[in-house]
Amino acid sequence: MLNRLNLLTRHFSRPFSPCRPTSPSFSTPSLAPRPGPSAMTSAAHPKPIHTAACLIIGDEVLGGKTIDTNSPYLAKFCFSLGIELKRVEVIPDDEDDIIEAVRRMSSRYDFVVTSGGIGPTHDDITYSAIAKAFNLKLELHKPAFERMKRLSKPHPMQLNFDWETPSPGLTAKLRMVELPFDPKLPAESQAVFVADDLWVPIAVVNGNVHILPGVPRLFERLLMSLKPSLIPRLTDPEGKGTHRLMFSTPMPESAVAPYLTELAAKVEPRGIKVGSYPRWGKKRNTVTLVGADKAYMESLASEVEKNVQGKLVAKEDELDPPSDSEHVYSQ
């Protein structure tokens, strides 16, 4: 432990310094990281964002102990910015699974967000696994550690904890500020602080993988605080986002299907998607138009209302009768 403290002291001489190397020998040819994000992305010329993917990491989610609320939040976040969320996956705290998934997502999507596995315990392996995925080392991030000391308090049960004294508790806390580091990229682009009152950084790996905590209130706060830096990189830099028009119809899906098939073919060249969603136990179903061209979608509203015998609504249940809950009917 004394050697660990001496190493920590040496770390403080520079912003990022080697702490815990990962094995550089890991290689899976079919999943080898492309030269894309790391080679093409820089602080001055960040890659535009059009598509996104979300990786939820945690045995507790797969085991039913915890309900994932972070991916739905990210979905709404992306929708509001016009980013197309293409994939959401939930995987265990398993190194091989994390390596495979994060490499694949980083190669296919512009904006990748991971959630979970960056705490102080033995099964929090997200940082180390993602570092290994891209043949990087884990390095102590001095600014994050300094912020941790300033903004966090030891647990009341850790009566004798001291930031300068080697202890199992200190070792555990250091796991949360040992981040993947690429010496070829600017240090400031690899760990971003987006909130003045939070010590937790958003680690950015391979140019597009953003590592966030699994705690929902932290995940949501950090993601929302990251928004200003994402807007200039959007394919729609004005941040108009994606729009959804909802139509409530008393018709069964089978009755409106022929018209919706024709409508989908008509609007597809304009980037508009048509959706149809049954609402079991209700007397009304929902038809949607989703896309960036709000004016064009609104111009179709009266046509859609007529053909589905429905009405444009702001909320899906807006026209539900009060005694709707017991009614089930054929789709």
Per-residue pLDDT tens digits for 3-56: 443 433 333 334 454 444 443 333 333 344 433 344 334 444 568 999 999 999
> What's the number of domains the chain is made of?
2
Residue 143 lies in a domain: yes
Do 269 and 218 lie in one domain? The reply is: no
Tell which of 207, 233, 259 closes a domain. 233
Q: Is the pLDDT of residue 197 over 90?
A: yes
Q: How confident is the model at residue 242 (pLDDT cuts 50, 70, 90)?
A: confident
Do 74 and 209 lie in one domain? The reply is: yes
Closest Cα partner for 83 from 51, 46, 109, 47? 51
Do 196 and 121 lie in one domain? The reply is: yes
Contacts of 63 (CB under 8 A, 6+ apart): none
Q: Is the pLDDT of residue 209 over 50?
A: yes
Whether the Cβ atoms of residue 250 and residue 310 lie closer than 8 Å to each other: yes
- The boundaries of the domain holding residue 292 are 243-313
Do 112 and 190 lie in one domain? The reply is: yes
Q: What is the DSSP letter of 134?
A: T
The pLDDT tens digits for 254-296 are 999 999 999 999 999 999 999 999 998 888 999 999 998 999 9
- Calculate the CA dihedral of residues 42, 48, 54, 55 and round it to 10 degrees: -30
Burial label, 236 (beta-carbon count in 10 A; 0-12, 13-18, 19+):
middle
Do 60 and 182 lie in one domain? The reply is: yes
pLDDT score at 283:
86
We report the CATH number of the domain holding residue 104 as: 3.40.980.10
For the chain, how many residues are written?
A: 331
